[in-house]
């Protein structure tokens, strides 16, 4: 038993040392302890290199306790501007009636909110990364990619005319399913929040900004997102009618 405990502690220290090298100084002690806890309890086996970076979060490639590739999304806790820009999404959400004044607690709520939105969308059959677990400002979900390389975003790829039409129709179907079956609207819809997997299979990502379709701002977010995507597809060479796209989404495709 002592040898087992010693071996487990040694493996934990190795993991912790590797993690210290892979996670930049932008993460504070509490964030690191959250990740260490996930490693020590076996929910995570490894946390490796950065997959993508942003002003609000970083996503790392990892392996969960069962050996599957996962995405480890860590929200930064360094800018209060984040809270001001995100209040419009959280207000009027009945799942989170109390909005914490403490900035760190607000980030934790935001991470919890994305986990809840992903769960709701995934259970409705919307193609999103499967949410696995969440703690504080760390969210772990299915990795969309292979061998540590994520799938490209919609704006990063070039498509043939027939492919573009197929992709557009799929986008409409996904948004219609999110709206009608998931009961939500993506609050920051664009070509930057859609991933292209194998066989041109699309995935919707970054659902923290999603709101219920009866949210006071839902139609504004939907109309704006459709406008952004319409412009993208038009510039790519596909004639798109934004109003017709909206109608299809609202009536279910």
Q: Which residues are catalytic?
A: 188, 206
The structure tokens listed for 13 are 């220290």
The structure tokens listed for 240 are 């798109």
CA 159 to the chain's CA centroid: 24
Alpha-carbon distance of 204 to 227, in angstroms, equals 17
Which 8-state DSSP code applies to residue 153?
B
Helix, strand counts (H, E) of the chain: 7, 11
Residue-by-residue DSSP string for 193-229:
SEEE-GGG-EEE--GGG-EETTSTTHHHHHHHHHHHH
Alpha-carbon distance of 19 to 22, in angstroms, equals 5
Q: Can you list the pairs that 158-162 forms with residues at least 24 positions away whose Cβ atoms lie under 8 Å?
A: 159/236, 161/237, 161/238
The arrangement of strands across the sheet holding 44-53 comes to 44-53, 57-64, 69-75, 138-142, 131-135
Alpha-carbon distance of 60 to 75, in angstroms, equals 11
Please enumerate in sequence order all residues whose Cβ is within 8 A of that of 247, keeping only pairs 6 or more positions apart, or say none.
none
């Amino acid at each position: 038993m002592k040898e087992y405990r010693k071996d487990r502690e040694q493996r934990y220290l190795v993991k912790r040392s590797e993690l210290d090298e892979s996670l930049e100084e932008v993460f504070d002690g509490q964030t690191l302890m959250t990740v260490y806890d996930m490693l020590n309890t076996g929910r995570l086996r490894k946390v490796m290199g950065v997959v993508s970076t942003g002003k609000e979060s970083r996503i790392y490639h990892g392996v969960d306790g069962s050996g599957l590739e996962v995405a480890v999304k860590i929200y930064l806790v360094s800018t209060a501007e984040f809270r001001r820009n995100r209040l419009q999404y959280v207000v009027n959400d009945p799942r989170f009636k109390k909005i914490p004044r403490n900035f760190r607690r607000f980030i934790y709520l935001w991470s919890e909110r994305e986990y809840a939105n992903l769960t709701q969308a995934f259970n409705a059959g919307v193609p999103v990364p499967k949410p696995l677990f969440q703690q504080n400002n760390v969210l772990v979900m299915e990795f969309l990619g292979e061998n540590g390389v994520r799938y490209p975003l919609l704006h990063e790829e070039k498509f043939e005319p027939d492919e573009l039409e197929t992709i557009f129709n799929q986008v409409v179907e996904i948004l219609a399913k999110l709206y009608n079956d998931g009961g939500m609207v993506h609050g920051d819809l664009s070509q930057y929040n859609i991933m292209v997997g194998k066989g041109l299979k699309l995935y919707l990502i970054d659902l923290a900004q999603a709101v219920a379709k009866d949210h006071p701002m839902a139609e504004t977010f939907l109309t704006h997102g459709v406008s952004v995507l319409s412009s993208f597809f038009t510039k790519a060479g596909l004639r798109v009618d934004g109003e017709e796209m909206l109608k299809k989404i609202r009536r279910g495709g």
